[in-house]
Amino acid sequence: MRKITSTLFALLSASVFGFAAEKPNFVIIFTDDQGYADLSCFGGKHVHTPHIDQMASEGARLSSFYVAAPLCTPSRAALMTGCYPARIDMDVPSSITVEGVSEKPFPVCLAGDGRGLNPKELTIAEVAQSAGYKTGMFGKWHLGDQPEFLPTRQGFEEYFGIPYSHDIHPKHPRQKLFKFPPLPLLEGETVIEMEPDADYLTRRITGRAVDFIKRHKDENFFLYVAHALPHGPLAASPEIKKEYAGVIGNKKAKKGIYPTAIYELDWSVGQILGALKEQGIDENTVVLFTSDNGPAKGSAKPLSGKKGSTLEGGQRVPAVIRWPKGIPAGAEVDKVLTAMDVLPTFAKLSGATLPEGLVIDGKDMMPTLADGAGSPHEYFFYAHWGTLEGVRWKSWKLRIVNGKEALYNLEEDVSEKKNVAANHPEIVQQLKSAMRGFEKEMAAAVRPAGSVENPVPLSIKN
């Protein structure tokens, strides 16, 4: 029996504000390598993001929102399943070892990879299907490029996009090592184009998302929009470059391809929110905007660290959520919430019943978002390349890298500049014990990643 039972059609008795029972639509907008400060509403002076800023004023700004890994594949696996990557064997997901780069498997799925998200895992798309929702995904997948791992095998009825990052192609700076094939663009499971123009990826993904909304306006739907940018190589459409040139006089905006790419992502959010409003369904649609990890080229200020690091800047990401029927407008939420919480939250809101015995790490966010409750997490764990490096408990964070211990009080020192471990030995011991317990649990309960023998890169079939 595959993943989900068929008896999952309960309605909520009432929304959090007492509205008549009505299941909300759900939209996730997930960008790639966008830093904590790469939004105006998160303090970014180098970008101009008016639509996301308005979304924050109409919803909630989540200032302690974490992804489960500081890199693409494990982060996205956690979003889809509600689980720490270590639990589902996606913390070091690639089966390809690149000589001279790493002695162990590469940390993200590559082209022609034999490993990917196990089709037996329950995804948020399958939760949505079980509750009668239409499901669509448009953009970057990065959870395996073999047919067995594609979105269409993981609960998405519609898919248009690229199977991994758009730099995984012959023009990669380290192509002599990787020997990447041309980048494929898929419609469903069919390659329809090779080497799509990166300048138009954001625009094409947005167009498909808007079309999906219009076609399913009279049905419940779950829409996952996974942009390829601002991951390098940076790009933006000629149309948006011209438009952005007209706003760079704004003191918050600067010239350059990076802020232009961010501006186009903001434009995309505006198109999606506009489509929801035009169809009369924006009041009861939950829209979450966030990023898969910290920045490679952008800003994580005032946080330390960037993509690939277990410092705050690697895993604490900008996040804004809007749902007029369920989340107070203008809310500022500084409690620890995570991308893993999306699946159980959506399951609760949609009336879906999760399978008995399924262990996930995410928690329902709604008591925190709607009622001001505390974080649903006692601890949050930080890991990179399959190695556990840190844990957060309340405002305390312990980070252990190469045997060196550092304790930070994030409420007083969000930039992680002052190691206070010597002053709080009891907290250090408590957090080290929590880390040992986490490692023990993950080792005992790990569920295997998907595996395919003799994988081949995707290409257009003649």
d(CA 418, CA 395) in angstroms, rounded, equals: 14
d(CA 137, CA 130) in angstroms, rounded, equals: 17
Amino acid symbol at 177: L
Q: Which of 46, 48, 51, 72 is the catalytic position?
A: 72
**Buried b / exposed e across 93-118, counting CB within 10 Å, b at 16+?**
bbbbeeeeeeeebbbbbbbbbbbbbb
CA distances from 11 to 17, 213, 278, 351 (A): 16, 22, 26, 5
d(CA 49, CA 446) in angstroms, rounded, equals: 40
Pairing verdict, β 331-333 and 60-62: parallel
Active site residue 72: yes
Active site residue 142: yes
Residue with tokens 């180098």: 46
Helix (H) or strand (E) holding 425: helix 425-445
Q: Is 66 helix (H, G, I), strand (E, B) or coil?
A: strand
Residue with tokens 């390659």: 191
d(CA 287, CA 319) in angstroms, rounded, equals: 11
Asked whether the beta carbons of 302 and 414 are under 8 A apart, the reply is yes
Q: Is 115 helix (H, G, I), strand (E, B) or coil?
A: strand
Q: 192: number of CA atoms within 13 Å, CB side?
A: 9
d(CA 404, CA 304) in angstroms, rounded, equals: 17
Asked whether the beta carbons of 94 and 115 are under 8 A apart, the reply is yes
Q: Which of 46, 48, 142, 169 is the catalytic position?
A: 142
Q: Is 245 helix (H, G, I), strand (E, B) or coil?
A: helix
- What are the two backbone dihedrals, phi and then psi, of residue 41, each rounded to the nearest 5 degrees? -75, -5
Give the end-to-end CA distance of the chain in Å, rounded to a whole number.
35
- What are the two backbone dihedrals, phi and then psi, of residue 159, each rounded to the nearest 5 degrees? -150, 135
Q: Is 263 helix (H, G, I), strand (E, B) or coil?
A: helix
Residue with tokens 């409003």: 277
Q: Which positions are catalytic? A: 72, 142
